[in-house]
Amino acid sequence: MPNRLAEVEIIKDGDVYYAKIVLPSGEVVTLENEDFEEVLEQIANDLQERYSS
């Protein structure tokens, strides 16, 4: 059975993208950036730091 690593929600408010990452522990990480690709990179980097072996 697969393990859930995180839930990610991305919203845009004006010119800013907000990403909310909810981890299985209940911890919530919020990221923001005006560039969509950069917010995706921030998400990937955060998750990679947490889960890379």
CA 20 to chain centre: 5
* The pLDDT value given to residue 50: 93
CA–CA distances in Å: residue 23 to residues 4, 13, 34: 8, 23, 24
Residue 30 has pLDDT above 80, yes or no: yes
**pLDDT value, residue 44:** 97
pLDDT confidence band for 53 (50 / 70 / 90): confident
If you search the block for the tokens 């990179």, which residue do you land on? 41
- Reading the block at residue 19, the tokens are 């990403």
State the chain's mean pLDDT as an integer: 96
User: What is the Cα–Cα distance from 26 to 10, expressed in whole angstroms?
Assistant: 18
The helix (H) or strand (E) run that includes residue 25 is none
